[in-house]
Amino acid sequence: MVVAVLMFAQCNSSSKSDYSSYDSQDQQEDKNWQEEKNDLKSDLNKVADDIDQKIDEIEENINDVPDDAKEKWNNTLEDLRNARSDVKEKMNDIDNSTEDEWQDIKSQAKDTYDDVEAKVEKVGEDIKDAFKNS
């Protein structure tokens, strides 16, 4: 009987260490998931700041643009505001995401980031061409 108790105690102690390694692994996965969320939100914040900068630059210079070009720049402003709204929405999705839905949210947020970043870059080139030469 003593042998059986010792074997049971040994099994229980090894099981505890097995569970603690699972807990450690879960904590690491949770940390990685949280770090990914923070990194992606940081990237989206940067692109939102870039959008705001482009909006400000256009608004400061739009009066110097010929009348026939103002419609284009007003449309660009609207596109940028919509892009900023998309970015803010994805940041909100990230904040409210659960670990179970994280992979989908991350994929959608990265797509939004890529699309908006390309748009901001294009607008930046257009601004440089239109406003720096006037």
Where do the structural domains in the chain lie, given as residue ranges? 38-131
DSSP H/E element including 10: helix 2-61
User: Can you tell me which residue has the tokens 């482009």?
Assistant: 54
Helix (H, G, I), strand (E, B), or coil: what is residue 98? coil
Calculate what percentage of the chain has a pLDDT beyond 90.
Answer: 59
Per residue in 10-25, pLDDT (tens digit) is 554 444 445 445 456 6
What sign results for the dihedral spanned by CA atoms 19, 25, 30, 33?
negative
Provide the pLDDT for residue 104: 95
How many angstroms separate the Cα of 124 from the Cα of each of 12, 21, 25, 46, 86?
A: 64, 50, 44, 15, 19
Contact present, 127 and 54 (Cβ < 8 Å): yes
Calculate what percentage of the chain has a pLDDT beyond 70.
Answer: 75
108 versus 7: which is more confidently predicted?
A: 108
| CB-CB neighbours of 56 under 10 Å | 10
Between CA 51 and CA 20 the distance in angstroms is: 46
Provide the pLDDT for residue 131: 75
The pTM assigned to this predicted structure is: 0.74
Region 19-44 average pLDDT? 76
